Amino acid sequence: MSKKLDALMKTMNDCTVTVIHNNGPAGPSNAVAFIDMPKDLSTTAKLERAFMLTNSIDSAWYKSPEITKLFEGPGCRSSMVGDYVLVGTKKFKCEKNGWSKV
């Protein structure tokens, strides 16, 4: 396939979620990653996948080809409780057990 057709197919089949780290009193929240995901995944599956992909296990999460990093500098912490994921226009907060809509 051509690059243009590949890009068109990707936009038709995928959606982009945004991972936002909540820095609490230390500073403002900031978007750290865009992640393309299949549109047909449930919202919960998108949230869980975003959390999993932005946690370092075997290597730094931001080096994954599935991630578009949005931060400057050599590194970034993993996602954790209190952080957010934006799915379309809906924002969700990572809780100790699951997600809450903000």
Could you state, in order of their start, the residue ranges of all structural domains in the chain? Answer: 41-71+79-102
Question: What residues contact 63, with CB distance under 8 A and at least 6 apart?
Answer: none
Mean pLDDT, all residues of the chain? 90
- Calculate mean pLDDT across residues 21-34: 92
> What CA–CA distance (Å, rounded) separates 66 from 68?
7
Q: In the chain, helix, strand, coil percent, each to 5? A: 25, 35, 40
Confidence of residue 26 (pLDDT cuts 50, 70, 90): confident
The whole-number pLDDT of residue 24 equals 86
The whole-number pLDDT of residue 1 equals 55
The whole-number pLDDT of residue 96 equals 96
> What CA–CA distance (Å, rounded) separates 47 from 93?
9
Can you give the pTM of this predicted structure?
A: 0.85
Q: What percent of the chain has pLDDT over 90?
A: 76
